[in-house]
Amino acid sequence: MDDVARKHASVRKKVILWYNQHGRSFPWRNTTDSYHILIAEILLRRTTASAVSRVFNDFMNRFDSPTRLAHARESTIVRALSTLGLQTLRAKQLKETASIIVKDWNGEIPKSHESLQSLPGVGNYIASAVRNFAYGESVPLVDGNVIHFISRVFGIQFAGPTDTKAWEFMAPFGGSHKAKLYWGIIDLVAAVCLRRNPRCGVCPLSKVCEWYTKGDTTSETT
Ligand code: SF4
């Protein structure tokens, strides 16, 4: 195992251990239901997890299948999402997505990356999230949190979440408990590795973090 692989393994272990103790609990993290996970990931785009968590259970109870969501009035969906913002746009997109799932996929969430990405509002990140969290696959997942985390811990800068090199960099993090690794990164960035004034003193990665150990502040504002 070379130094990079060793560091990947060490970081992975520390993040998962931290997540087991400090990770947040959200309804979409306690299920492998692909419909629930797809809806959660769509709602989480441009919205905080705590805001989504306030409406999620009611939303999923009311629209408990793609069929029910597809047949719901758009105005009813808008009302259910009114506290999240962008509710008109989101309602239209969710209804359209559910209609396609019913019409083209017999009400089942598709499994392949290409099929998932063909749904309205589903890009590379959401397709990968559904594959990881619902289908138990081990595929890389990169968003702004992951980019920030990599830049701090590994001292590597990527152009952004669409940079294919970032996706390649995350691939060796594969293995079991991949969901916990990503949720751990999300929660660490939210609670410890803050963009301003990171709390390095309580961070489980302080011994291996480039930013902390080498005083690399180039990624401070990423
Ligand atoms: S040691 Fe500091 S900069 Fe490094 S990951 Fe932890 S909180 Fe972030």
Tell me the pLDDT tens digit for each residue of 182-195: 999 999 999 999 99
CB 219 within 8 A of CB 156: no
Task: Tell whether pTM > 0.75.
Answer: yes
Give me 178's structure tokens.
């991949």
Same domain? 7 vs 65: no
Distance 134 CA to ligand 1 centre (A): 29
Same domain? 72 vs 149: no
Mutate to test the pocket of ligand 1, among 193, 194, 218 (most ligand atoms within 8 A of CB): 193
What's the rounded Cα separation, in Å, for the pair 65 and 3?
47
Residue type, 141: L
Q: 110, 133, 156 — which closes off a domain?
A: 133
Mean pLDDT, rounded, for 93-120: 96
Cβ neighbours of 103 (radius 10 Å)? 11
Residues contacting 216, CB < 8 A, separation 6+: 155, 210
We report the CATH number of the domain holding residue 54 as: 1.10.340.30
Same domain? 93 vs 143: no
Using the atom order of ligand 1, give the atom closest to the CA of residue 199.
7
Classify residue 222: in a domain, yes or no. no
pLDDT at residue 171 in the model: 86
Same domain? 64 vs 107: yes
Torsion of CA 138, 142, 148, 151, to 10 degrees: 70
Does the beta carbon of 150 lie inside 6 Å of ligand 1? no
Tell me the pLDDT tens digit for each residue of 6-61: 888 899 999 999 999 999 999 999 999 999 999 999 999 989 999 999 999 999 99
**3-class secondary structure, 9:** helix
Same domain? 193 vs 208: yes
Give me 32's structure tokens.
């492998």
2: left (phi over 0), alpha (psi -120 to 50) or beta: beta
Mean pLDDT, rounded, for 149-163: 94
Classify residue 84: in a domain, yes or no. yes
Same domain? 159 vs 123: no
CB 135 within 8 A of CB 34: yes
Same domain? 159 vs 125: no
Mutate to test the pocket of ligand 1, among 11, 14, 205, 213 (most ligand atoms within 8 A of CB): 205
Query: Which residue range(s) make up the domain with 195?
Result: 3-25+139-213
Same domain? 67 vs 92: yes
Distance 189 CA to ligand 1 centre (A): 9
DSSP letter, residue 64: -
Same domain? 120 vs 159: no
Residues contacting 117, CB < 8 A, separation 6+: 123, 124, 127
Total of domains in the chain: 2
Q: 74, 104, 133 — which closes off a domain?
A: 133
Classify residue 8: in a domain, yes or no. yes
pLDDT confidence tier of residue 210, bands split at 50, 70 and 90:
very high
Is residue 221 over pLDDT 60?
no
**3-class secondary structure, 119:** coil
Tokens 């996929």: give the residue: 105
Distance 140 CA to ligand 1 centre (A): 22
Tell me the pLDDT tens digit for each residue of 118-144: 999 899 999 999 999 999 998 999 999
Same domain? 123 vs 144: no
CB 15 within 8 A of CB 184: yes
Same domain? 145 vs 128: no
What's the rounded Cα separation, in Å, for the pair 166 and 142?
7
pLDDT at residue 181 in the model: 92
Same domain? 46 vs 119: yes
Lowest-pLDDT range of 17-21, 163-167, 175-179, 207-211: 175-179
